[in-house]
Structure 1
Amino acid sequence: MPTHPDEGPAAHDWAEGQVWTAVRVTPLITRKFRVSNSLSGTIGLMHRLGFSPMVPARRVAECDTQAAIV
């Protein structure tokens, strides 16, 4: 099992090309350090360490962006 976040989310069983988010970091902290942490606690920790959690864009795959422009 990977032990370092620098190996990327794909090395920790998430899809290739994904980014670290607070939702993904929280269980990683739990597995690595055996410490339970809330999502807001993880976000606070990330900010104190100089990181900002990424917010993934939620888009519909079939979305026609040109049709939405009026």
Structure 2
Amino acid sequence: MALTRADGTSRVTVGGPGRFSVEQGGAIPGGAQVSGGGSRTQLRVLGENGDLFAAQNSGWQRLDENVKLLAKRG
């Protein structure tokens, strides 16, 4: 899984060994971090300004704002 950025918008691409890379939905404004796995519905993207996005149909929907941390491993 990779988060790429160009012209102020980000896109999530999922791939891996033996798999074709597939872009997941449309552009995400200011995406900074990506987390999740297993399926597209489990992906979350944190924007630079604290907006939290989740995959929705063919795009991304803002779920929350003022989020400081996307994921933490103990």
Per the shorter chain, which TM-score range? Answer: under 0.3
Select the structure of larger CA radius of gyration.
1
Question: What's the TM-score once normalised by structure 1's chain length?
Answer: 0.25
Structure with the higher fraction of residues in helix conformation: 1
